[in-house]
Structure 1
Amino acid sequence: MTSPHPMSETKASKIVENVTSTLETALGVLETFGDLTANVPYLNTITGVVKSNKERVNVLFDKIGIITQTIAESICTLDETQRGAAAESFRGDLEKYHSVLVDAARIVNEWTSHSVMRRVLKRSDFDGIADNLEKKIETFRDVFSVARLARLSQGQHEANNMLAKLLNSDTRSTLKDWLKPADVGANYQDALNKKHPGTGKWLLENSLEFREWTYAPTSFLWLHGISGSGKTVLSSMIVDKIRDPRWLYAFFYFDINNPNQQKVNNMLCSLVHQLSAQMPCPPLLKLCEACQNGEILPSNSELLPILKELSGHQEIYLVLDALDECSERTMLLEILASILEAKLSTMHLIVTSRTEITYFDIAKEAVLVSLDEAIRGDIELYVGDQLSNMGGYIAKNKDGIRKQLLDKGSNMFRLVALQLEAFRKSGGTKSKVNQALATMPTTLAGIYDHILEMTDMPEQVCRVMNWLIFAMRGMRLAELIDALAFDFSQDSIRFDEDERMDAQTLLNACSSLVSVPQNWDAKSVVRLSHASVKDYFLDSGSTKCGVKVSDQEAQGLIAKTCLAYLNSFSLIPDISVLKKRVSSCAICVMALGLPSEALQKFCWRLQSL
């Protein structure tokens, strides 16, 4: 993005002096930064709204005028060199202010429209929404003050922020060691990287429900959809939208791949840790001291009041993704109900889940938004762009192929993405593409059936599933390879390092059932690619290709493998050779964690070395 054009003092003063309304002041200043706002057609919308509803929104737009006049006056105090130094930081704030103005115009327009007023809305407190709009606008008063712009021009703002972080680093480290928050930032970045350009606008820019959630007091929005409808990516886009130092925000992703992201306590620890980094929280420090100075993990009943305390002082936005992947669903819904019962006017809660979770009573308190039809436009955009990047027969017939994909895609991003991947692997010839379209499954289960049918090592794939679904922690690629280096047809199995499979061969066999980082290596953690993969293998306890995937089967497999793995070392008399073998075997750490008398004896032997 280019820097804004320098604005002379004469031009800025003229904006302030020659206004006919407070709103025109705002519009005039923003128009001055033409390259910054040229692509947002909000000018006529706002002026039209004000003309027809001036009395009702006069106070709101007076506030806009005051803040915007502050912008102009602050700019006037800086010389051209100072304005250049402050430009980049100021630009980001101006864009956020601009976004709030657009929201204000749309909300007022919608609430004064007869067609909208006739609707039975879950949130009907316009005064509350207007109050929160004013609060949001008011936060810009200090942002655009003369003093702050001067600090920005001298680089002091960043220095002050760095000093505050350094002063607080010891406390932050103590709280992190105590609460052990899950690395939800990794989920956020991973999902955001999957975002396709242009998608999500139907919610983030055009949805009345989302704008009401942003500004209405005690707002609760629940996005629900079928498996594979893109809920987690959408959650990350929402987090990206609300990230702003002028209010509090926190997020949590329930994740079947991570045991540290499946329990209610995991969620509460993460939320409290994130929020405490944004504002002081003396009660949290007292609780840490009460928990033997961080030696004891706090309980849910201790953390919940802290969360409410943090939420009671300023606007707070919470985003919780994939409620259906929480292993303590009933407890989770009880915690959410408790948060809502507190009636905190500053609280804005948004959650995502599969549709079946919305049948619980707590959903009656939420504004429900179904993704099943809403995301069709996003899927169309995604499919169109993906096909445009393919050549040959696909490029020549992309319109027809696009229509068939959308018709059979069942409004599932994942289903369509898997089919596009199949196109890429097919070579893109006419016969292969037409065959793929003719046999394209219309469900995720059908796609997964096809993957197992195409692999030449289905039993190994199912054993991988048993490890990934039921192991106590995430499995590294090297560990999975070692876990398969056995002849399972024998009653007495023994680890054979010469039976280690090539890593790429294993990943190819598992195909789209698993995911690894783009630049993977032997230490990379292998994950289920989607929650629907777990559902598929556990469905009705069915057996896939000769190997059953179930809790009982997995625990037997894991115990048998670990014991046989460790037993293979028992015949090595030379201590130096044993040390070398143990250090080179990837799964040894997990095997040593298996509780049994034999393992305890082996551990004692290792400890004595």
Structure 2
Amino acid sequence: MAQMVQMSQAVQPHRPLPQPLQISFERFRATLGVDEQAQFQHTQFEDVVSEVQRLERKQAASSRTRKIQSRIGPFLDFLERYGRALDSATQARPVPFSLVWGLVRAVLVVSSAHSQYLERLIHAIEDISDKVSLYAEYEKLLKGHVRFQAALAEVYYDTLVFLHKAKTVFSKRGLSLLWRNVWRTFDLDFRDTLRALSRHTLILDNEIALSNDTKVVDLWKGYPEARQNISRWLSPADAQDDFLRESNRRISSCGQWLLDHHLFREWCQSIDNRILWIVGPPGSGKTVLSTSIIEHIQTSRNAHELKAVAFFYCSQNSQQNRTTISILATLIAQIIAQFEDLPEVVLKSYNRSTKCARPRLSMADQPLLLITSLCGLLDEVYILIDGLDEAESPDEVLRDILALTGSTVTIRTLILSRDLPRLTRQLGSHPHSILKIKSRDTRADIDMFVTSQLSKLDFVDTELRDKMFAKLSQGADGMFLWASLLLQSLTSATSTYDAMDIISNHPVGLSLTYNAILERFKTRSRQSQRLTKRFLTWMCCAARPVGWNELTAALAVGRIEEIPFKEAMLEICSPLVEYLPDQDIFRFVHISVREFLLDVTENHSAQESDDGSSLPFREADGHSHIANVCLRYLLQAAEMETNLATDVLFPLSEYAMSFWAYHLVRSRYEPELDEMMHSYLACRRRRLSWIERQLFGEASVFPLQHLVKLQKQLCKWASAGQRERDDRLDWIRDVEQILLDVENVEEQQDFGSETDSTGRAKVTYFEKLMVIRDLSREYTMSNRLDQGERWMTEALRRKQESPQQDELSTVWLLNSLGIIYDQQQKVELAASTQEKALAIQEKHLGTSHPETIWTVNELGRMYRHLKRTPDSISMHLRALAVLETSGDDLQVAWTLNTLARAYRQLGDPVTAISRHREAIAIQEKLLGADHPHVLWATADIGRCYRDQGRFVESAQHHRICLEGRERVLGMDHHDTLWAINDLAFVVEEFDKVEARKLHQQALAGQTLLLGVSHRDTVWTRAQIEKLEAQMGRMEAG
């Protein structure tokens, strides 16, 4: 006995202290009598579920209290989380929380005889659920937060008291409930308990808010991990590296003329005119000039002022340095760098983005609003964009930059570019100044640059230097680039005579200079000329900058003995290209070099040699060459993939797989290319790998449409040959397998990881289901819905019968089947399938999880199709309430559009139009005006106007939709043909002759594309017959 006491004493100090949840439970258990504890202690969660189901069956026939399980499910989930935490901490048998399950079951049993009182009870439970369902994500996140856990424990305690009160009331009142006012009775019985619960949930909400604020600071102070996370999310371009590189080209005192210019000084000081556009021709030194501006602003900052300079260098040499999102992300990263502590607005934006499974900043994260918020924390922010004309979409970038500048007086914007008329028009409505660089402005800077460079030439004496300076100064005429090219040519001079000959015979102007350089290329050997052309072809036509390893692999395909030395390649192509050692890439010294090399005149084309060395060349020929290299490389790599000794030849595989089709559809048809394409696609494993990359590996919004469009482009390209249509270009059936493969791979990944085993961002639920949605439409258009139903049903069966079956992993297949059933017009079955999915998600994920909300929205669509319009609106509003706080604008827009369709069905076209316009505003910002989803919403507005009898306005919107689909999808697309039908249907009201022509145009296209028996073709034919009958009666009358 003494020994046991000693052991107990030895162990005692290591016993963990009771946690708040345990304390709250023991406090509640103390209020129960011995008999109650004995009555409840063996009840399990499953017993409660069984009782709910029994009660639901009983009530369904005669009561308004229906769908009890879905209504109290979130409440039970809340209790189950409490139970798991408590039972895990105590490890006792029977488990303590059995008391709670027994209490819940008892409440349901004794209340089942009083349906009206039960309805009020369930309504109260729903109110509690609305409060507590929000805490699921915080319970794990704030596990170690003592004050949060204490507040949470109070909420749990109040919930248990509420249940015990309910059981006591039902047990004591019995039949007396039938004779009293139910609502007043309930309020009196539970008033104090519910007030306590409300008070404690408010305290808990305050603790969450406080802990979030604290966590923001803690997370930032926990860098470098936090800073690295934000940096990965932004993935900014290295603008600082660009700045340093260009600064090194500048003579220190250059650019003073600009800093003294009255327009620049006005831009620095004016409150009203905070936009300055510096315009200059190619090669006038705008990029180097930008470094003077940046340096001037940085050095003139007062130590007590909060000022920031954010800049970006657009470049056609780099895809990352061209996109709008990359520009905005880079500006954000530079502004953030001004703060010692990360501003809270940044972390909130990051958290919202990652919560929506976006591993990178996107337009859905509202980067413009983030920049505006950050600038509001500073006294002044200077934004400088160099080379705007080289951006992927200059108009879009300028629109966003102008919006930023107009959003707050703390922002000043300076843009440097060539003079583009469309940019001039866009700037017209904003206060701005234009400073046009003239040759006299830069003459002094060019003279300093020439003097500096001539001093580095060892063979130049004073007299010769003066002669050279005079020639260069006069010939430059404001062109830094011309002077720089000529100075580089001088470095190859072998004597004083040779140097003077180069200067005397060097042409004036960039085009003539480039021609002279190409003439020098022709003096080299044929082998060197061919190598130079292949090299420059990649420089001109590659979809992105290629590294030296990729480039040498590309140049070696079929010519292993011709792999060049890096230094030799630079010497051969000098002075047109430069090498960036930090990135290990080559690039043109100026964008005008690429433009010149691709500017093939008819005269040049007639004289073009056929030995592969001629320059300039057609861009289509460049794409043909690269497509040939990519396909040949992929086929060779497939043959040798088991030979480890040849791994050195595979550095081009990633580029080749990503872009062979990009180059092929931009090339001229060649039988050899056609044969290689079909050989590559003939292997199903290769084909699946490539399609998966197109679906989930490339930056594309709703990528199945991109894939289908690419398939059509390849088919059109191949149609120029004699080959019959090959089924290997019909990839829809492959997408099915890819979706299953993606699911299987991700099930093996870490749950919390944002990337798969290859480091690529995981496929989000929204991405996967949007592919399924578009896939179902492709099934519909090709009359293959039965095929889609078969594979999904079979996949679901296998998943459900698997020994490792995970209920949650079946949900995406249930969602997918629901979409297919809807397309098959099996709407009741579609709705019940989505309801099954929703029940699983609410059980495992909670009511506010993004995946749950996706299904809620889908059910809203199903209910609309079933004409259950109020239920449809309710589901969409529920989804909208969650999504509008999540920052996921694309899903918000999608929800607004589906909600608008429900309002139209309800007979409220005015509200429907308003919701559609809200959605379009978001979608145009994120996707562009011609995106299919924007065009769908535009057509929907047209339908709303038609419902109101406003046929002219309706037709206008349908024409906008039709014109957009013609541009984006082409005339041979199902959606374009249906847009013609939509327009005709409205035009019938005021011009039946025009309407018949439109229907006939649609019928011709549908017959060719879909066949004579397709339902769309049949509908159009019937519509024409109906219209002709009406016209006949009108003529007869």
TM-score between both structures, scaled by the size of structure 2: 0.39
Question: 2:502 aligned with 1:436, yes or no?
Answer: yes
Structure 1 match to 2:371: 307
Question: 2:487 aligned with 1:420, yes or no?
Answer: yes
Structure 2 matches for 1:147-546, cutoff 5 A? 167-204=222-259, 206-218=260-272, 219-243=274-298, 246-279=306-339, 280-293=342-355, 294-295=358-359, 297-299=361-363, 302-313=366-377, 314-342=379-407, 344-356=408-420, 359-362=424-427, 365-373=431-439, 374-392=441-459, 395-429=462-496, 431-455=497-521, 456=524, 457-486=528-557, 495-517=558-580, 524-539=584-599, 546=614
Structure 2 matches for 1:15-34, cutoff 5 A? none
Q: Which amino acid aligns with 2:681?
A: E
- The verdict on how the C-alpha distance between 1:331 and 1:570 changes in structure 2, with shifts beyond 3 A counting, is closer
Query: Could you tell me how far apart the structure 1 residues matched to 2:546 and 2:562 are?
Result: 19
Structure 2 match to 1:9: none
Structure 2 matches for 1:60-139, cutoff 5 A? none
Structure 2 matches for 1:44-55, cutoff 5 A? none
Q: Which amino acid aligns with 2:281?
A: I
Question: Larger Cα Rg: Structure 1 or Structure 2?
Answer: 2
Structure 1 match to 2:718: none
- The verdict on how the C-alpha distance between 1:164 and 1:210 changes in structure 2, with shifts beyond 3 A counting, is farther
- Pairwise CA distance, 1:549: 4.1
* 1:282-307, Cα deviation, whole Å (9 max, x unpaired): 33332322223443532178111222
Contact 2:443–2:477 (8 Å) recurs in 1: no
Contact 2:282–2:592 (8 Å) recurs in 1: yes
* 1:53-86, Cα deviation, whole Å (9 max, x unpaired): xxxxxxxxxxxxxxxxxxxxxxxxxxxxxxxxxx
- The verdict on how the C-alpha distance between 1:579 and 1:308 changes in structure 2, with shifts beyond 3 A counting, is same
Q: Give unpaired runs (5+ residues) of structure 1.
A: 1-162, 487-494
Structure 1 match to 2:681: 597
Contact 2:329–2:361 (8 Å) recurs in 1: no
Query: Could you tell me how far apart the structure 1 residues matched to 2:309 and 2:222 are?
Result: 22
Question: 2:636 aligned with 1:568, yes or no?
Answer: yes
* 1:140-160, Cα deviation, whole Å (9 max, x unpaired): xxxxxxxxxxxxxxxxxxxxx
Structure 2 match to 1:557: 625
Contact 2:640–2:646 (8 Å) recurs in 1: no
Contact 1:562–1:591 (8 Å) recurs in 2: yes
Q: Which amino acid aligns with 1:187?
A: D
- The verdict on how the C-alpha distance between 1:414 and 1:172 changes in structure 2, with shifts beyond 3 A counting, is same
- Pairwise CA distance, 1:548: 5.9
- Pairwise CA distance, 1:469: 2.8
- Pairwise CA distance, 1:571: 4.7
Query: Could you tell me how far apart the structure 2 residues matched to 1:377 and 1:433 are?
Result: 24
Deviates most, 581-590 or 259-268: 581-590
Contact 1:479–1:587 (8 Å) recurs in 2: yes
Query: Could you tell me how far apart the structure 2 residues matched to 1:171 and 1:217 are?
Result: 37
Query: Could you tell me how far apart the structure 2 residues matched to 1:551 and 1:241 are?
Result: 41
SS of the aligned residue for 2:258 comes to: helix
* 1:65-119, Cα deviation, whole Å (9 max, x unpaired): xxxxxxxxxxxxxxxxxxxxxxxxxxxxxxxxxxxxxxxxxxxxxxxxxxxxxxx
Query: Could you tell me how far apart the structure 2 residues matched to 1:320 and 1:605 are?
Result: 39
Q: Which amino acid aligns with 1:282?
A: E
SS of the aligned residue for 1:426 comes to: coil
* 1:168-196, Cα deviation, whole Å (9 max, x unpaired): 53332222111211111211111111111
Query: Could you tell me how far apart the structure 1 residues matched to 2:477 and 2:682 are?
Result: 52
TM-score between both structures, scaled by the size of structure 1: 0.64
Query: Could you tell me how far apart the structure 1 residues matched to 2:411 and 2:616 are?
Result: 46
Query: Could you tell me how far apart the structure 2 residues matched to 1:528 and 1:165 are?
Result: 41
- The verdict on how the C-alpha distance between 1:569 and 1:317 changes in structure 2, with shifts beyond 3 A counting, is closer
Contact 2:489–2:575 (8 Å) recurs in 1: no
- The verdict on how the C-alpha distance between 1:471 and 1:393 changes in structure 2, with shifts beyond 3 A counting, is closer
- Pairwise CA distance, 1:445: 1.8
Structure 2 match to 1:150: none
SS of the aligned residue for 1:375 comes to: helix
Q: Which amino acid aligns with 1:528?
A: F
Query: Could you tell me how far apart the structure 2 residues matched to 1:300 and 1:201 are?
Result: 41
- Pairwise CA distance, 1:410: 2.4
- The verdict on how the C-alpha distance between 1:496 and 1:405 changes in structure 2, with shifts beyond 3 A counting, is closer
SS of the aligned residue for 2:491 comes to: helix
- The verdict on how the C-alpha distance between 1:214 and 1:170 changes in structure 2, with shifts beyond 3 A counting, is farther
SS of the aligned residue for 1:369 comes to: strand
Q: Which amino acid aligns with 1:320?
A: I
Structure 2 match to 1:490: none
Contact 2:235–2:360 (8 Å) recurs in 1: no
Q: RMSD over aligned Cα, in angstroms? A: 3.1
Query: Could you tell me how far apart the structure 2 residues matched to 1:587 and 1:296 are?
Result: 25
Query: Could you tell me how far apart the structure 2 residues matched to 1:433 and 1:296 are?
Result: 53
Contact 2:533–2:615 (8 Å) recurs in 1: yes
SS of the aligned residue for 1:195 comes to: coil
SS of the aligned residue for 1:437 comes to: helix
Q: Which amino acid aligns with 1:286?
A: K
Aligned-pair identity in percent equals: 24
* 1:408-451, Cα deviation, whole Å (9 max, x unpaired): 1121111101111212211341x323322232121222222122
Query: Could you tell me how far apart the structure 2 residues matched to 1:164 and 1:316 are?
Result: 26
Query: Could you tell me how far apart the structure 1 residues matched to 2:362 and 2:654 are?
Result: 28
Greater relative contact order structure (CA < 8 Å, 6+ sep)? 1
Structure 2 match to 1:44: none
